[in-house]
Each structure stands twice: as C-alpha cells, then as structure tokens.
Amino acid sequence: MPVPIIEEDPRKTGLKNGLRQLNVNELRRVLGYKKAMCLDAFNYDEAGNTFCPLAIGVGIDSMLAPSNRKVEMALTGMGYKIYNTRGIKGEFYTTYRKRDLLIAASEVLIEKLSE
C-alpha cells in the first residue's frame, strides 16, 4: 500500500523559507524570545514597539529609534527576503500566529541541525 503524501500548507512553506535565512543561533534567538513579536503585516509595529521574527533573529531588535521603514531597509540591505507569507493562500500562520511561528521555527531548526 503506497504511503499517502501529505502536502504542507503553502503559508507554512513560505514562513519556513523566510526562517531558513537564519542560522541555528538566530533561530534559537527567535524561539527563546520572551517579549511580544510583530507577527502581522510589518517588520516593526510602532504601536506595540514589536519587531518581526526575522529582525529579532538577526539582532536588529536593539535598533535605536526604529520604524517599520528602517527595519525593512535594514533587513533588505543585509540581503534578507522579507514578507515571506504575503499573498500566499492557506490556513497556517493566520489565526494562531505565535504558535505557528514556533512550530515552523522548530522544524527549520531541526532541519539545520541535521545538515
């Protein structure tokens, strides 16, 4: 009997592709981050003073006088691809963003540790 192929939600794949840009230590930083994160449409949310996981991973969450534009420019200037789930249909990373981020980051960390 053939093993069924279970397809991954496209949004999970997009999120994991974004997280794959981080190294093991950066992924651990995201996974261990205790403050609130910006998990929606921005790289930095000025209202909540929160940074996106990618910014946290690479350590620019210590930026002085941050703005969404400054964080976006810093990430792209460092060569990172941002907004990795934007426009992708699916259910993952829509309702339970923090939980889904932790799942995806853990899976990517396991991938990298097994390389």
Q: What is the pLDDT of residue 115?
A: 86
Residue 45 phi/psi, 5° resolution? -105, 110
Residue 8 phi/psi, 5° resolution? -80, 145
Q: Report if residue 100 sits inside a domain.
A: yes
Q: Report if residue 2 sits inside a domain.
A: no
> Measured in whole angstroms, how far is the alpha carbon of residue 81 from the centre of its chain?
11
pTM: 0.91
Cα separation, 2 vs 4, in Å, equals 6
Give the sign of the dihedral formed by CA 60, CA 64, CA 68, CA 70. Answer: negative
Task: Give me the residue label for tokens 């209202």.
Answer: 47
Q: How many domains does the chain have?
A: 1
Cα separation, 28 vs 25, in Å, equals 5
Going residue by residue through the chain, which has 115 residues, state the pLDDT in tens, using 9 for 90 and above.
676 667 899 999 999 999 999 999 999 999 999 999 999 889 999 998 999 999 999 999 999 999 999 999 999 999 999 999 999 999 999 999 999 999 999 999 999 999 8
Q: Report if residue 32 sits inside a domain.
A: yes
Instruction: Provide the domain limits for residue 36.
Output: 10-109
